[in-house]
């Protein structure tokens, strides 16, 4: 759960170039200048590896083809792995193709209907609208559930900064719904160790971000009696069972395999190379003996964005070889940047999306100023030819956050016909997000350190097996 997107690398490189120039201008000690230049060169090598292009100042890698170090990344122009998501299509990644490439299954009407039937609850609009669009073994989870055999949920977040944005909420909103309708326990992994390994951050910062992010996650409404949130830096050192499972996975995955799956190279640190086992281990119920009393046969269901699938393909490959059940998965699409669906969200640029800390005014300004529009250049043309909701980011955001199907469909039709103008569409989104974010902020305010501690303490959870 990391970002090494071309744009991120480009920004870092540009900043480093400025550092070097400034050191030279200040006539800084030679050793400092040399160190800064060394880092610059290393970053250029990384940039070239990811983008297949040489870095040019002032020329960001918008349309660059992504180099395919690893097997996963070959299909048209879409690149999807845990550190890079990009496409050249304004509609976003081609998810139908992704299902074929990843070998997962489509969440079709039959599956959605079955979930509705079994839970007896209105199905979440993320399912109805194909925001969760792909799965692995979900029917198996439902078969067992119908036979009174329960399961547990596992999702996670890489805490790379204090600030979370609305896109980060998608898996948590959906997981909360799953927890409610199936009444099952949930474990949430905060990969602070991964962020430390991948980014230029201290362990203390990564851990602090983990705790801060936990507050936003708790604010989504999870049941403390059914939810365990853990920082890797803490839990690895608090659970011999968890470490034992990590080592089991590490014994059964070779460097060749992680190279193929994740594109690691010989220059990567050994922490990165072995990390996938740490994201795999929570998929096995024996990693949480305090919850499952040492049982190895409670199956795991993982709701996550599709870019995390490589971790769990690896996990599913290893599971039977170490005597464990394969986790099932539900995959979501990506949440688009305000600027368009070509790239995944990044927490490092405040203007690329709406953050959970944004004020009503900031929300309004960002949407009005930055949300890519599918409308026409003039009001006249828009009235005459209509807008394109498929590439309009405001409309995309509404599909995530406006629950009323009929209202959404009416907006779509009105925008396509030209009855609804871009400014009006943006206003609808602003009016949807402002109260939602304000409510989140209000809930987060009530998440005290004590409550965080409760959620993050390894303990027994309510679990009917």
Binding site for its own copies (CB under 8 A): 193, 196-197, 203, 233-234, 236-244, 247-248, 250-256, 258-259, 264-271, 273-274, 276-277
Task: Work out how close the CB of 281 gets to its own copies at its nearest, in angstroms, rounded to a whole number.
Answer: 11
User: Which of 174/196 has CB closer to its own copies?
Assistant: 196
Query: In this structure, are residues 269 and 287 in contact, taking their beta carbons and an 8 Å threshold?
Result: no
State the nearest-atom distance from the C-beta of 275 to its own copies, in Å. Answer: 9
The backbone torsions φ and ψ at residue 129, rounded to the nearest 5 degrees and listed phi first, read -100, 10
Burial degree of 281 (CB within 10 A; 0-12, 13-18, 19+): buried
- Picking from 318, 200, 187, the residue whose alpha carbon sits closest to that of residue 261 is 318
Nearer to its own copies, 41 or 247 (CB): 247
Report the residue number, 76 or 237, with the smaller CB distance to its own copies.
237
- Least CB distance from residue 382 to its own copies, whole Å? 52
d(CA 327, CA 140): 10
Find, among 179, 182, 192, the residue nearest to 218 by Cα: 179
Q: Is the Cβ–Cβ distance between 169 and 144 less than 8 Å?
A: no
Cα radius of gyration rounded to whole Å, the chain: 23
Decide whether 221 or 289 has the Cβ nearer to its own copies: 289
Q: How far is the CB of 195 from its own copies (least distance, A)?
A: 11
Query: d(Cα 156, Cα 235) in Å, to the nearest integer?
Result: 14
CB of 274 or CB of 296, closer to its own copies = 274
Nearest residue (CB) to its own copies, 321 versus 460? 321
C-beta closer to its own copies: residue 123 or 257: 257
Determine the Cα–Cα distance for residues 119 and 116; give it in Å rounded to an integer: 5
Rounded to a whole number of angstroms, the minimum distance from the CB of residue 426 to its own copies is: 43
Closest approach of its own copies to the CB of residue 417, in Å: 55
Is 322 or 379 the residue whose CB approaches its own copies more closely? 322
Is residue 250 a contact partner of residue 277, using CB atoms and an 8 Å limit? yes
Closest CA to 336 of 384, 277, 258, 389: 389
DSSP helix/strand/coil, 342: strand
Least Å distance, CB 23 to its own copies, is 21
What's the rounded Cα separation, in Å, for the pair 204 and 209?
9
As measured in angstroms, the least distance from the Cβ of 312 to its own copies is: 16
Q: In whole angstroms, give the CA distance from residue 264 to residue 272.
A: 8
Query: The tokens of 168 are what?
Result: 């980060």
The least distance separating its own copies from the CB of residue 152, rounded to whole angstroms, comes to 20
> From the centroid of its chain, how far is CA 353?
14
Nearer to its own copies, 261 or 429 (CB): 261
SS3 370: helix
- In the bound complex, what is the minimum distance in angstroms from residue 199's beta carbon to its own copies? 10
Q: How many CB atoms lie within 10 A of CB 54?
A: 9
Nearer to its own copies, 38 or 203 (CB): 203
CA–CA gap between residue 394 and residue 373 (Å, rounded): 7
3-class DSSP state of 152: strand
Query: In Å, what is the CA distance from 134 to each residue of 68, 75, 138?
Result: 23, 18, 10
């Amino acid at each position: 759960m990391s970002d090494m997107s071309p744009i991120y690398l480009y920004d870092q490189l540009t900043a480093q170039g400025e550092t070097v120039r400034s050191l030279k201008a200040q006539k800084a000690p030679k050793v400092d200048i040399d160190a800064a230049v060394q880092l610059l060169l290393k970053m250029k090598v990384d940039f070239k590896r990811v983008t297949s292009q040489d870095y040019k100042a002032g020329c960001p890698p918008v349309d660059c083809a992504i180099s395919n170090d690893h097997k996963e990344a070959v299909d048209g122009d879409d690149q999807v792995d845990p550190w890079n998501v990009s496409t050249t299509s304004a509609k976003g990644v081609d998810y139908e193709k992704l299902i074929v490439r990843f070998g997962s299954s489509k969440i079709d009407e039959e599956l959605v209907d079955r979930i509705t039937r079994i839970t007896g609850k209105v199905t979440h609009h993320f399912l109805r609208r194909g925001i969760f669009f792909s799965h692995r073994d979900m029917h198996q989870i439902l078969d067992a559930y119908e036979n009174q055999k329960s399961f547990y949920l596992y999702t996670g977040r890489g805490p790379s900064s204090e600030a979370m944005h609305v896109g980060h909420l998608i898996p948590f909103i959906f997981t909360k719904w799953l927890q409610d309708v199936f009444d099952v326990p949930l474990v949430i992994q905060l990969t602070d160790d991964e962020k430390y390994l991948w980014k230029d951050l201290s362990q203390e910062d990564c851990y602090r971000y983990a705790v801060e992010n936990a507050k936003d996650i708790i604010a989504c409404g999870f049941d403390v009696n059914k939810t365990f949130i853990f920082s890797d830096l803490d839990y690895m050192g608090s659970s011999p069972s968890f470490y034992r499972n990590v080592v089991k996975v590490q014994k059964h995955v070779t460097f060749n395999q992680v190279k193929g799956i994740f594109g690691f190279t010989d220059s990567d640190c050994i922490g990165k190379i072995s990390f996938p086992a740490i994201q795999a281990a929570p998929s096995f119920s024996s990693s949480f003996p305090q919850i499952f009393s040492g049982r190895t046969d409670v199956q795991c269901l993982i709701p996550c964005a599709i870019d995390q699938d490589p971790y769990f393909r690896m996990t599913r490959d290893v599971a039977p070889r170490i005597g464990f059940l394969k986790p099932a998965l539900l995959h979501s699409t990506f949440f688009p940047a305000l600027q368009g669906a070509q790239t995944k969200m990044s927490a490092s640029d405040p203007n690329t999306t709406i953050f959970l800390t944004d004020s009503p005014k900031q929300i309004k300004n960002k949407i009005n100023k930055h949300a890519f529009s599918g409308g026409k250049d003039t009001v006249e043309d828009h009235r005459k030819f209509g807008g394109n909701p498929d590439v309009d980011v405001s409309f995309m955001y509404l599909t995530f956050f406006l629950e009323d199907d009929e209202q959404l469909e009416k907006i779509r039709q009105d925008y396509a016909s030209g009855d609804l103008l871009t400014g009006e569409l943006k206003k609808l989104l602003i009016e949807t997000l402002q109260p939602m974010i304000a409510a989140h902020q209000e809930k987060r305010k009530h998440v005290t350190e004590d409550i965080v501690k409760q959620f993050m303490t390894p303990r027994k959870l309510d679990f009917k097996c």
